[in-house]
């Protein structure tokens, strides 16, 4: 059970609609609300204060891991109100932590208001779909909604492999298996390798780390399984380059071939503050697999992907800058905030001269 002191901080974060709680020696508790860090009170915490808040949440094994390595990631359930993804760390000033709130209620695709292209990627039966974007850009929320859509609309076996498990899906039409790396399986690679034997129709991989894991995910996708995974890049083209460049040069032609055959789509996502200050909104770049994309991947012509997205709007594709432009023209976000996230900043600034 959470210690009362930290439970009160969690409650305040949730009441204010915040996403993260930061605890660091020399500062009061800091809450991230609508993207901005704000202090909760004015009393700075000491390292012993923070340890008194943190250590009661840990099992004996977790405490030993943290004391041995100075770093720990795990998920913590705050009653029925929320789950938190926790990161404990040691630094120059002492012990610190960051808690990311994971809502217990999973938002649907409709509630998130996602573009039609994302719904299309949630209705696939096979292939690799990569959801990408910087930390805190809402990737997990989008993926949870896609998995939820599958769970509500068709029968099958969904397997999630995460470190730690974030959103917990209740079985609806699907049979669901959640696996936590480090808890139920040693590594992402071990989990992906065994996934093929577990007769899963849909597999969510929290993060593709390292060439072997990336290759194993591609091979599963080529067997007719639908794989969703996250990577950290800021555009569809950069995602494909990152994937290929994770491998030694002599393996890259083979990986290009596998990726050309199996890549079903890429969603690049960023979060921006709303113009009215009432929360944040997502902008999406959406790339959907087709024969033209397969050719570009095989030939290593990722610089032509932006043009492919532009010409593929009827299929549900959209560019990041086009998504940002729509949000500005609708009055949802300010032009200055959109310019900050635009891929072609010069071109975007010409559309909105007030940003210059």
- CATH number where 260 lies: 3.40.50.300
Assigned domain for 347 exists: no
Q: Are residues 37 and 22 in the same domain?
A: yes
Q: Are residues 118 and 90 in the same domain?
A: no
Assigned domain for 262 exists: yes
Number of domains in the chain: 2
Q: Are residues 305 and 228 in the same domain?
A: yes
Q: Are residues 167 and 241 in the same domain?
A: yes
Q: How confident is the model at residue 3 (pLDDT cuts 50, 70, 90)?
A: very low
Q: Are residues 255 and 176 in the same domain?
A: yes
Q: Are residues 196 and 286 in the same domain?
A: yes
Question: Can you give the residue range of the structural domain that contains 83?
Answer: 4-103
Assigned domain for 324 exists: no
pLDDT of residue 4: 62
pLDDT of residue 354: 78
Q: Tell me the mean pLDDT in the region 232-244.
A: 93
Q: Tell me the mean pLDDT in the region 73-100.
A: 92
Q: Report the percent of the chain where pLDDT is more than 90.
A: 83
- For residue 18, count CB atoms less than 10 angstroms from its CB and return exposed for 0-12, middle for 13-18, buried for 19 or more: buried
pLDDT at 341 over 70: yes
Assigned domain for 186 exists: yes
pLDDT digits (tens, 9 = 90+) for 278-326: 888 999 999 999 999 999 999 999 999 999 999 999 999 999 999 999 9
pLDDT of residue 356: 65
Q: Are residues 64 and 154 in the same domain?
A: no
Question: Looking at 72, 103, 134, which one is the last position of a domain?
Answer: 103
pLDDT digits (tens, 9 = 90+) for 111-163: 999 999 999 999 999 999 999 998 888 999 999 999 999 999 999 999 999 98
Q: Are residues 98 and 118 in the same domain?
A: no
Assigned domain for 188 exists: yes
Question: Nearest-5° angle of CA 305, CA 147, CA 190?
Answer: 85
Question: Looking at 286, 301, 318, which one is the last position of a domain?
Answer: 318
Assigned domain for 148 exists: yes
pLDDT at 50 over 80: yes
Q: Are residues 148 and 277 in the same domain?
A: yes
Q: Are residues 123 and 191 in the same domain?
A: yes
pLDDT of residue 154: 97
Q: Are residues 192 and 270 in the same domain?
A: yes
Q: Tell me the mean pLDDT in the region 41-56.
A: 95
Assigned domain for 244 exists: yes
Q: Are residues 113 and 93 in the same domain?
A: no
pLDDT at 2 over 80: no
Which CATH number goes with the domain that contains 9?
A: 3.30.450.90
pLDDT of residue 104: 81
pLDDT at 191 over 70: yes
Assigned domain for 348 exists: no
pLDDT of residue 276: 92
pLDDT at 347 over 80: yes
């Amino acid at each position: 059970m959470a210690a009362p002191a930290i439970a009160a901080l969690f409650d305040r974060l949730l009441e204010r609609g915040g996403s993260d709680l930061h605890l660091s020696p020399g500062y009061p508790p800091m809450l991230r609300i609508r993207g901005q860090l704000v202090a909760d009170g004015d009393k700075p915490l000491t390292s012993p204060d923070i340890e008194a808040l943190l250590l009661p949440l840990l099992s004996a094994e977790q405490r030993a891991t943290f004391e041995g390595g100075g770093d720990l990631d795990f998920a913590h359930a705050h009653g029925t109100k929320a789950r938190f993804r926790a990161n404990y760390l040691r630094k120059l000033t002492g012990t610190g932590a960051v808690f990311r709130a994971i809502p217990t209620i999973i938002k649907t695709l409709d509630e998130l208001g996602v573009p039609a292209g994302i719904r299309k990627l949630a209705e696939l039966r096979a292939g690799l779909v990569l959801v990408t974007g910087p930390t805190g850009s809402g990737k997990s929320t989008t993926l949870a909604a896609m998995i939820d859509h599958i769970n509500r609309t068709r029968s099958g076996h969904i397997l999630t492999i995460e470190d730690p498990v974030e959103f917990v899906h209740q079985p609806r039409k699907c049979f669901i298996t959640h696996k936590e790396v480090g808890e139920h399986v040693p590594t992402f690679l071990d989990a992906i390798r065994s996934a093929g034997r577990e007769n899963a129709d849909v597999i969510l991989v929290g993060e593709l780390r390292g060439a072997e894991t990336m290759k194993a995910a591609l091979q599963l996708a080529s067997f007719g399984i639908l794989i969703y995974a996250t990577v950290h890049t800021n555009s569809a083209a950069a995602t494909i380059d990152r994937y290929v460049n994770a491998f030694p040069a002599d393996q890259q032609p083979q990986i290009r071939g596998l990726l050309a055959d199996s890549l079903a789509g890429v969603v690049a996502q960023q979060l921006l503050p709303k113009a009215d200050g009432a929360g944040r909104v997502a902008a999406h770049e959406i790339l959907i697999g087709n024969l033209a994309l397969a050719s570009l991947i095989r030939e290593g012509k990722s610089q032509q992907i932006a043009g492919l997205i532009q010409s593929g709007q009827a299929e549900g594709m959209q560019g990041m800058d086009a998504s940002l432009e729509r949000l500005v023209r609708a009055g949802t976000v300010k032009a200055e905030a959109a310019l900050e996230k635009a891929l072609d900043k010069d071109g975007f600034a010409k559309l909105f001269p007030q940003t210059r």
